Amino acid sequence: MKKIKIAIAGSGGRMGRALLEAVEVADDLVLHAALEHGRSALLGRDAGELFGAPCGVNISANVESALQGADVLIDFTRPEGTLNHIDICHRLGVNMVIGTTGFSPTQKLQLAAAAEQVGIVVAPNMSVGVNLVLKLLETAAQVLAQGYDIEIIEAHHRHKVDAPSGTALGMGEVLARTLGRDLAECAVYGRDGVTGERDPSTIGFATVRGGDIVGDHTVLFAGIGERIEITHKASSRATFALGALRAARYLQANPAGLYDMQDVLGLK
């Protein structure tokens, strides 16, 4: 069986290390390249040393050279770095799995343009469980469209740099779309002082940052006399890594295009 050749961007980070370990134990995948930025102290080291099993692939900052011959690049970095990687993958015909969050509307258009030539899965959260929750939220929003206030509460570790999380925003987008609203117009990202009564058409967001919380998300539907909560809690980054590998396999079996995890999991 021909193994899928995987490259990992940001291999020295928390997600990168989880991906390295997940690829190592997968029977149908092989690590092709491990990338880090040009100032990283990890450059030149065997990527396998990051999880205790040397693999013969040295960490590199030369993206174009490292991606030669790769099948899929998995990228959980920052928008600017991911967009640079997209340009290179586009030229080399390398598919991409993107877990990076925080893209602007213009940057999202760049992703869509690149997907005309290569396969790209973009998802704010690669967890199978979270993507099942997104599907459940569609049903909940349809049933609870009237008489229920919607709030999204998310918590992450102290090192996370964007807020609300991409996953929380993705949940908000699903809810707004199902309810026929525009999230840009109905989202409330913070409350302070005398805010007046709650507008029932809004979707609220609350953000918690602290410690080593991997990722907790709760959507609260608050009605009169009852509350419905749909919650997902991640206890390990392994869940995101396994979902990303599932997305990589999906790209190898499908034509170029822009996909999300709902496509990967057959939930559409």
CA distance 6 to 107: 24
Contact criterion met (CB below 8 Å) for 6 and 31: yes
Contact criterion met (CB below 8 Å) for 131 and 94: no
160 counts as catalytic? yes
3 counts as catalytic? no
Q: Residue 93 corresponds to which amino acid?
A: G
Catalytic residue among 156, 159, 232, 233: 156
Q: In what order do the strands lie in the sheet with 187-188?
A: 187-188, 203-209, 149-156, 215-222, 227-234
**DSSP code for 268:** -
Catalytic residue among 160, 232, 233, 268: 160
CA distance 39 to 44: 12
Tokens for 252?
């190898």
CA distance 104 to 100: 12
Strands, E assignment, 41-84 = 59-60, 72-75
Active-site residue set: 156, 160
